[in-house]
Structure 1
């Protein structure tokens, strides 16, 4: 039976990477799709602006994109719509006191070689995963499902479910390898003693060896622009400056997909939901927040370790023990004097980011959810620790605490950039325990944000899977297969 005529087949609310991915996946199947964005530009966490001084282009939220080659984004002709990636020679560097550093290279053997006594241990940890990852990725980066390769998935799962500190103790002995590993696992934004923190570290390492950690030429806005251009080339429609507060604002459609977290979902569409589903959404847990700084600089960051000067991303935290302690204290509501800092230096590889001879830098540290404490001095002290003379180069800075992050992007509840903590309790069952995490309890309403599996990151997989669910449920269609 044909569906009755409505204004659109589907409406997508929110134009972050997942909202864009969902809109594209629906439009690719010949549906009529409207994408709504509350701000004057599309992008969500994919925006680039002159935050400090004229001519200095800063990524407001996401900057480096290890998951840019996700199973869904790989299927899209984004290069034809202006997207160009730059691959720094070193994906990520991890400096230590004394001027040495560990380096994550595109080459697995080269990375292992520089880890000294842990060379063999690193190869044993990563070789099989790098080989298996292309077949594992669609399963890992999706809802809980039976894997296509159960043996490979079991091998990955045994390591991935371990706390990062436990895996480090079992596998590595050197300061270099343990520190490098801690920096990767700390992207999970939770104590490294938590179960499943190893999963994040393993995925990031595998991506580096398969694809590198690229940055988009011109800024992260370029990714959003390319996704939007492809969407509209298919016939999709985008409207900006539309702040959706209620479903009643929307034109008629057969399906509504919302790129929001459970808090906004309840505010916008909660009334039709069952009491059990509402109860589950209200119990959803958000994780630590971030305090972010963007700098306009008079020159490149003067890192002591040469590996850091060639890296797109630099993890500042010294040893595994120091990083683990900082993340533990932050999770307990404290502000460490020496926080773990994630730093990116895009202008070293992309001259379009700053005036000639000048540079930009981007960094954040984890803070308690909702914190308003100014972490500028703590972050800049960590920069100076590994790059003496850094403070003398600062021409201007722009900071954002957790409240300002949430005001900028309402999905960052309390500064949580992952759309909810990705711990063992919310790894596959986010935001609620259901047959499909993308379905709400109301027919035709779906959640497509990072509050669904696989969680945070610029990969579009939450949007793709939500669209696939809506296509099957409402339109008796399927999203195009993943590569």
Structure 2
């Protein structure tokens, strides 16, 4: 075997590509990280999308999973410029009557404010919080693997595999049901679907154990810190290099792709077995998102006081309304009252906007690939809970699903999760085999959000894919978490 240009190449610099590159480079290998755009980050990018001086997060904004990531926690990212800001109220869920349910770091405080559902909430969430340090690596990793703590994992799994509507039957108040529905709706599926409870429980647990933090300066700062650390290890980066074929790449012993199944087929499909190609072609994508960024003349004037102090605000009122909207989007209909996720970064980070001004960040779920303009519907939802909001808008920028996909080809049809997380695609994401990160071709791996554990800024897909490649190709055991 002749000498290779690199030991490993990673294509794509989202959080998983960066994690994979770092994991390989930590072992003293020569690693090249390639990015198609001029800047690294994938979903971790920030830019002045509206007016000068207003810093908007292009995709991800609030980062409970990044702060809690078992892999990222092993890295000295603070030494490379990353600082998190933790709002005291992680999430507020306002209602039409002016009340709001909230998620804070204190599980007791959160539960106490839920009134009659206090004990039911504690019964659901407290065991997960207690067991999280035992199960975090299993929950945020490949499921076709015997966990280190099988009993704790089984207890979590029995709840996680159920539908959000099933779990909601444990609650009696509109406040608890609404708060729960907003959390579970991050799954981007009808709340009647199996596994929708998993996302809700994990996000609530993150809120209690660590909070839902905002990166100071923008989400780009997470990517910048990861890039800085990778370079400090001796890693090499090439940007503005869009890979269309394996022939475009320098020689290496292993290639890890932070791309979705569709792009992987375009780049390397001719090298795969017919069975593996068939499985990638069958990979299913879910709802898309429609996103708005606003430059504002002041903070969003929510009626509920708690919502004016929260980093994230879920706008959907009752569980019935959220359920109807998510179901409509899942079957190709445009919801009149969409569930809207709002982030208020500038309330806590004054680097995001000029003095006295603010940013607003919001998105809703829409049918896969929808071309509908949801601007008016989203702004009506914000105005509903924050009268006077529209008068504060100085400028706005929107992304529909097609524009999201054009910005990041991994977001097929606007699906930011790399594929719908159904009960089937939990286990065959993106193909049913002993390791979800291997392809059928020796030395080629996939490390994107289309592999376990799926979407979110946590880097775990990249870490586990690199761990697999290190063992297969280099006979090296990755640094354990």
- Specify the TM-score bucket, using the shorter chain as the normaliser: over 0.9
- In 2, Cα distance between the equivalents of 1:454 and 1:98? 38
**Which runs of structure 2 are paired with 1:312-351 in the superposition (5 Å)?**
312-351=311-350
| Cα drift, residue 428 of structure 1 | 2.8
Q: Deviations over 1:247-272 (max 9, x none)?
A: 11100000000000000000001001
Counterpart in 1 of 2:163? 163
The answer (yes or no) to whether the contact 1:273–1:440 under 8 Å persists in 2 is: yes
Q: Deviations over 1:108-142 (max 9, x none)?
A: 00000100000011111111110101110100110
SS, match of residue 23 in structure 1: helix
- In 1, Cα distance between the equivalents of 2:363 and 2:84? 22
| Cα drift, residue 424 of structure 1 | 0.7
SS, match of residue 270 in structure 1: helix
Counterpart in 2 of 1:151? 151
Counterpart in 2 of 1:302? 301
Match of 1:56 among 51, 54, 63: 54
Q: How many residues align?
A: 479
- In 2, Cα distance between the equivalents of 1:440 and 1:263? 13
| Cα drift, residue 84 of structure 1 | 0.2
Unaligned stretches of 5+ residues in structure 2: none
- In 2, Cα distance between the equivalents of 1:349 and 1:428? 39
Counterpart in 1 of 2:213? 214
Q: In the alignment, is residue 33 of structure 1 matched against residue 31 of structure 2? A: yes
**Which runs of structure 2 are paired with 1:375-394 in the superposition (5 Å)?**
375-394=374-393
- In 1, Cα distance between the equivalents of 2:306 and 2:426? 34
The answer (yes or no) to whether the contact 1:345–1:361 under 8 Å persists in 2 is: yes
User: Which contiguous aligned blocks of 4+ residues in structure 1 show a shift greater than 6 angstroms?
Assistant: none
- In 2, Cα distance between the equivalents of 1:4 and 1:353? 51
Counterpart in 2 of 1:201? 200
Counterpart in 2 of 1:435? 434
**Which runs of structure 2 are paired with 1:128-147 in the superposition (5 Å)?**
128-144=127-143, 145-147=145-147
Counterpart in 1 of 2:422? 423
Unaligned stretches of 5+ residues in structure 1: none
| Cα drift, residue 4 of structure 1 | 4.8
SS, match of residue 104 in structure 1: strand
Q: In the alignment, is residue 42 of structure 1 matched against residue 40 of structure 2? A: yes
Counterpart in 2 of 1:183? 182
Counterpart in 1 of 2:89? 90
CA RMSD of aligned residues (A): 0.7
Counterpart in 1 of 2:77? 78
The answer (yes or no) to whether the contact 1:428–1:454 under 8 Å persists in 2 is: no
Q: Deviations over 1:222-241 (max 9, x none)?
A: 00000000000000001100
SS, match of residue 464 in structure 1: helix
Q: In the alignment, is residue 112 of structure 1 matched against residue 111 of structure 2? A: yes
| Cα drift, residue 154 of structure 1 | 1.3
- In 2, Cα distance between the equivalents of 1:124 and 1:260? 39
SS, match of residue 67 in structure 1: helix
Counterpart in 2 of 1:459? 458
- In 2, Cα distance between the equivalents of 1:300 and 1:190? 31
- In 1, Cα distance between the equivalents of 2:477 and 2:201? 30
